[in-house]
Amino acid sequence: MFDSKVVKNEIVKWIQDYFDENGKACKAVIGISGGKDSSIVAALCAQALGADRVYGVLIPCGEQHDIGIAQELVSLLGIKHSLFNIKDSVDSILDSIKKSGIEANRQAIINVPARIRMTLLYAVSATVNGRVANTCNLSEDWIGYSTKYGDSAGDFSPLSQLTVTEVKLIGRELLPDKFTDKVPEDGLSGLSDEENIGFTYDVLDRYIREGVCEDRTIREKIDKLHLCNLHKLRQMPCYKLVQ
């Protein structure tokens, strides 16, 4: 039985222990998208470290329709924050690719902003003496719904062993429901997460935790995505010299 209160307290303690070992004076630096994962990680860090040791980074790419949620979140938590619009940087890279004589495909167009965001997060982190929080969850990681060296990167990861269902339960221990029940979307493709992946998180989470998925087609799709995307979770392979 998942006890959200107990797990929440364990994560708070885990964050405190991480910073005790990896920078007692450091801040937690978090990319705040307005979605549940970044909101919950920010709330966990604020509880663990105090609001003065949490720094939020809002990173829209052009117009972001839900940027108000991100601004409301940092105000609610009382954390310092900055806003950077990366559209010009993204356009510059994609234009350079086009000028080279090749055309960026959909995957590249979606992934470039995520990698620029992570570059910016580490630049801010270096400036404010921080450690970058990874905000991925187990459900997304299981099927590779993240960008390698983009949102899958970070220095510490409070939620990566929790499914979406479990993350939402943790969130309700910390924040008003509006922050945990917001429809998840990647902020890049214009689609919700579930529209992108083709099945619901409820179905995915049950399969991860119980091994049950009645729909054979969906089960096979989950298995295929999991296998194809394991490279995102594993350490980079390297040649080992034997002498």
Helices 4-22, 164-172: crossing angle, 10 deg rounding: 90
Backbone phi and psi for residue 117, each to the nearest 5 degrees, phi listed first: -60, -45
Q: What is the pLDDT of residue 243?
A: 86
In a domain, 243, yes or no: no
User: Per the structure block, which two tokens stand in for 233?
Assistant: 């979770």
Confidence of residue 188 (pLDDT cuts 50, 70, 90): low
Q: Inform me whether the pLDDT recorded for 99 exceeds 90.
A: yes
DSSP code of 183? Answer: P
pLDDT > 70? residue 187: no
What pLDDT score was predicted for residue 183? 75
Residue 132 lies in a domain: yes
Annotate 136-147 with b (16+ C-beta within 10 A) or e (fewer): bbbbbbbbbbbb
Residue 167: inside a domain: yes
Please state the rounded mean pLDDT for residues 19-41. 96
**Structural domain of 166:** 4-232
Domain count of the chain? 1
In a domain, 240, yes or no: no
| CATH number assigned to the domain comprising residue 100 | 3.40.50.620
The answer as to whether 211 is a domain residue is: yes
Q: What is the mean pLDDT of the chain?
A: 94
- The arithmetic mean of pLDDT across residues 191-216, rounded, is 93
Cβ atoms 111, 177 nearer than 8 A = no
Q: Where does the pLDDT of residue 114 fall: very low under 50, low under 70, confident under 90, or very high at 90 and above?
A: very high
